[in-house]
Structure 1
Amino acid sequence: MGEFRPVPDALRYLAGNWRLERSVRDRASADEGAFTGTATFSPLHGGCRGALLHHESGTFVWQGTARPAERTLHFLPGAAPGTADVRFADGRPFHGLDLTSGRWVTDHPCAADLYRGEFTVLDADRWRTVWRVAGPAKDLVLSTDYTRDAPPGG
């Protein structure tokens, strides 16, 4: 994929409601799963100006069993204009995010495993993340496609 859409302000771009589809592939066992749901980026109350609360919810299917799943992250304004500082809900750092070129690659060490994330803006209403997780405990690829929900009445 060689076409990226630069985004001058990551938080402004992400704000709103998104549909998402995530595939999860365990490269060690060849097992595959899928998560389908929604992601909402809404103002983070009590946070700094422009901060967003990211909440995902949906259904995760793994080895034929469907379960409800959700996660919450905080997207705070980053050190440079237009960037974001992504944190877990408890405040621990997760990764930086800079979409000014339309593409961003970042790492997150987690115990002995390393998460490497690639973020790609496809257009005004679509973006993708691919996380590759490698280490003694995991060998995964998680690919997520986000599509903006149409505004009500739109």
Structure 2
Amino acid sequence: MGEFRPVPDALGYLAGTWQVERSVRDLTSGAEGKFSGTTVFSPLDGGGLLHHESGTFVWQGVPRPAERTLRFLPGEGRGTVDVRFADGRPFHDLDLAYGRHVADHPCSADLYRGEFTVRDEDHWRTVWRVRGPAKDLVLITDYAREG
């Protein structure tokens, strides 16, 4: 397992409030951005968690408010997650049983490949690599449990 912390119940691990720091880099243009904010995973009626992220995104020196909402639902396997967009469309699966997971999400002609790693009880990271005719991006997000 090395540097990854196994998580047998992903929903249980994620529940609560996390401080978020994200870097965004456009590999084609060299442009860079940063997001700082909070992600709250709160219980959903019927099971699962509502993921709500809010904060400030600075792109090429221009700050603006940013937010997104996802649904983290119980997955098919024990302790796994079925991640969906707010409108219910599928996004990706998530299994942190080994402390690391890779998921793909095709979006039009682009492919989003996410790597999720759990460092310890209070820190995890996602790295999304987005490739295709419209995008060539790397997004790195670090989460630190609040409180």
- Regarding TM over 0.5, the answer is yes
* Equivalent residue number for residue 108 of structure 2: 111
SS of match in other structure, 1:56: strand
For the pair 1:101 / 2:101, whether they are aligned, the reply is no
For the pair 1:24 / 2:21, whether they are aligned, the reply is no
Match of 2:76 among 61, 72, 79: 79
For the pair 1:64 / 2:61, whether they are aligned, the reply is yes
For the pair 1:5 / 2:2, whether they are aligned, the reply is no
Unaligned runs of 5+ in 1: none
- How many Å separate the matches in 2 of 1:140 and 1:44? 32
Identical amino acids, percent of aligned pairs = 75
The count of aligned residue pairs is 146
Question: Pairwise mapping of residues 18-57 of structure 1 onto structure 2 (< 5 A)?
Answer: 18-45=18-45, 48-49=46-47, 51-57=48-54
* Equivalent residue number for residue 15 of structure 1: 15
Superposition RMSD in Å: 0.6
For the pair 1:121 / 2:131, whether they are aligned, the reply is no
For the pair 1:134 / 2:131, whether they are aligned, the reply is yes
TM-score of the two chains, using structure 2 as the length reference: 0.98
- How many Å separate the matches in 2 of 1:68 and 1:52? 23
For the pair 1:92 / 2:83, whether they are aligned, the reply is no
- How many Å separate the matches in 1 of 2:136 and 2:52? 25
- How many Å separate the matches in 1 of 2:59 and 2:20? 17
- How many Å separate the matches in 1 of 2:23 and 2:108? 23
SS of match in other structure, 1:136: coil
SS of match in other structure, 1:13: helix
- Cα drift, residue 44 of structure 1: 1.2
Off by >4 Å, runs of 4+ in structure 1 = none
TM-score of the two chains, using structure 1 as the length reference: 0.94
